[in-house]
Amino acid sequence: MSHPNKKRLRRSMMFLNCQKPGLIKDPYIYKPDSIMLDLEDAVAENQKDAARYSLYHALQEIDYRGVERVVRINGLDTPHWKEDIRVCVAGGADTIRIAKTETAQDVHIVEEHVLAAEKEFGRPEGSTLLMAALESCKGVLNALEVCKSSDRLIGIALSGGDYTKDLQTVITGTGVELQGARQHMIIAARAAGVQCWDTVFTNLDAMDVFEEEVKMIKMMGFDGKSLVNPRQIDVVHKVFTPTQKEIIFAEKVVKEIDEKKALGIGVFTVDGKMIDIAFYDGAKRTIDLAKASGVYEGDL
């Protein structure tokens, strides 16, 4: 199975508390790529039921205007996750974010219940996508098996708060404590052909530090970042959208490689830089990202 939305653009994934009607009624105005409607940590333990009714009606009645609707469900170690899955599928959520994923088996368990819910509520089988949040050392170390666990799985997300607790350290603001997890997860995700998202950045008074972090994780290869505030969306989109200079160079690379290949030439220069076939996929990716971001006006 290959779901048409499995690899859609997901630079910005903004958390919203399902307990708060004021937050979930119109977040599409900020134009994130995805919203993550939260049934887990943001919702008080005695309001888990209330959040589900709000979620159901929001999914059914609010037009989120093309923004992907991800729902973060409660962990498998809680009494809540089974009903969470039922309401997500009944409401027609696009994707379910599995909290505290540690093994492929965790994904399989969720997948089994999602399939049962799709049958119960008459949704097309396989229509609900999954993503896995890795929040522990064990989860991070098992990243590859999680990434390969299901055709429904779109990717993995680092959850830095719980992960650093498990690592017996804290979020320092330097990123040093997250280096290993970030590097390991992006390699695992790419090896399995799925996407990968960085953890949240919670200090809203340090937008300059936030922007540096976004630039860094883009350079590392991440597809995007989990966000906690609408103010962070534009920063992420700016960093992840190719510049006109990058787009023009990528176009030249793709066109030149196609032309030179026909002439039997393997290596040549574009704007003074040595280019060969190894640059082709990267240049195509830049064009694809420019198209997905709505800034491409070329003909490739």
Partner 1 sequence: MEVKKAAMAGTLESSDAQVTVEPGNGTIELSIESSVIHQFGKQIKATILETLGRLDVTSAKVKVVDKGALDCTLKARVECAVYRSNDITENLPWGGVIK
Instruction: Using CB under 8 A, list all residues that contact partner 1.
Output: 20-22, 25, 48-50, 52-54, 56-58, 60-62, 82-83, 86-87, 90-91, 121
DSSP letter, residue 124: P
**Cβ nearer to partner 1, comparing 60 with 169:** 60
Is 153 buried (19+), middle (13-18) or exposed (0-12) by CB count in 10 A? buried
**Cβ nearer to partner 1, comparing 120 with 212:** 120
**Cβ nearer to partner 1, comparing 20 with 215:** 20
- Shortest distance (Å) from residue 43 CB to partner 1: 13
Q: How far does CA 58 lie from the centroid of its chain?
A: 21
Q: Are strands 95-101 and 195-198 parallel, antiparallel or unpaired?
A: unpaired
- Shortest distance (Å) from residue 21 CB to partner 1: 4
Q: How far does CA 116 lie from the centroid of its chain?
A: 25
**Cβ nearer to partner 1, comparing 22 with 124:** 22
User: b/e for 85-116, b at 16 or more Cβ within 10 A?
Assistant: bbbbbbbebbbbbbbbbbebebbebbbebbbe
- Shortest distance (Å) from residue 153 CB to partner 1: 24
- Shortest distance (Å) from residue 58 CB to partner 1: 6
**Cβ nearer to partner 1, comparing 82 with 218:** 82
Q: How many CA atoms lie within 13 A of 26 on its CB side?
A: 2
- Shortest distance (Å) from residue 108 CB to partner 1: 22
